[in-house]
Amino acid sequence: NAGVTQTPKFRVLKTGQSMTLLCAQDMNHEYMYWYRQDPGMGLRLIHYSVGEGTTAKGEVPDGYNVSRLKKQNFLLGLESAAPSQTSVYFCASSAPGQGKYEQFFGPGTRLTVL
């Protein structure tokens, strides 16, 4: 089992450019999440999904969009990148419907917006 994987690992963008971060999990988890991690701010939830075809906003959704077309994949898009979106992005998955609340995290994507 690969667990949760994220692509790419690093990326540098110029202000205004767009990109998509890909998250994949092979644990058949229903729930998936996108977080950003910034110094002194902890982990903040951007968007989440409770199942294939569903998405919802988290704490800091502005400037991001997501899609969950397949159960195993969760995509995070930045339509017009801004320097404030420089961060480390983590994807996670869990199976709370099975009484399992542990979130499994990917290795992260370090994004720099110039």
Is residue 74 within the footprint of another protein (CB under 8 A)? no
Please tell me the distance from the alpha carbon of residue 103 to that of residue 29, in angstroms, as a whole number.
Answer: 10
| One of 61, 63, 77, 108 touching another protein (CB under 8 A) | 108
Minimum Å gap between C-beta 60 and another protein is 13
Q: What angle do CA 111, 112, 114 make, to 5 degrees?
A: 150
Please tell me the distance from the alpha carbon of residue 28 to that of residue 43, in angstroms, as a whole number.
Answer: 24
Kindly state the helix (H) or strand (E) to which residue 20 belongs, with its residue range.
Answer: strand 19-25
Is residue 43 within the footprint of another protein (CB under 8 A)? yes
| One of 12, 56, 82, 114 touching another protein (CB under 8 A) | 56
Give me 114's structure tokens. Answer: 């110039």
Residues making contact with another protein (CB under 8 A): 4, 31, 40-45, 48, 50, 56, 90, 92, 96, 101-108
